[in-house]
């Protein structure tokens, strides 16, 4: 007798959103450049996100699995530090 194994579907991994936080010192051009470089946003979308960060205090750059989100945060924080900007970026569980 041969028993068939049922394939079990594992749930999708939890998603995390990368959120950029506003500060009064980081130039808007730098924020746009970061959004284009690390999040592959086109110029229009990067400007829209930058304006949201500027006006509302925070803006979502993208939604990724946990490891990718934390890697993107680290890349942004390193780039900001190297450029001498206090830009802050965090990863938090995505709202469903």
- The pLDDT tens digits of the residues spanning 41-69 come to 999 999 999 999 999 999 999 999 999 99
Q: What is the pTM of this model?
A: 0.87
* φ, ψ for residue 83, nearest 5 deg: -85, -5
List, for residues 6-49, the tens digit of each pLDDT value.
778 888 889 999 999 999 999 999 999 999 999 999 999 999 99
CATH topology of domain 15-93: Ribosomal Protein L30; Chain: A, (3.30.1390)
Q: Is 69 exposed, middle or buried (0-12, 13-18, 19+ CB in 10 A)?
A: buried
Q: Domain residue spans in the chain? A: 15-93
């Amino acid at each position: 007798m041969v028993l068939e194994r049922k394939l079990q579907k594992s749930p999708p991994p939890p998603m995390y959103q990368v959120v950029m936080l506003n500060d009064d010192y980081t130039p808007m051009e730098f924020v746009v450049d970061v959004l284009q470089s690390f999040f592959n946003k086109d110029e229009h979308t990067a400007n829209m996100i930058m304006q949201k960060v500027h006006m509302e205090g925070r803006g979502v750059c993208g939604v990724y699995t946990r490891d990718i989100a934390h890697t993107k945060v680290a890349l942004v924080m390193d780039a900001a530090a190297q450029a001498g900007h206090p830009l802050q970026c965090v990863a938090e569980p995505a709202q469903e």
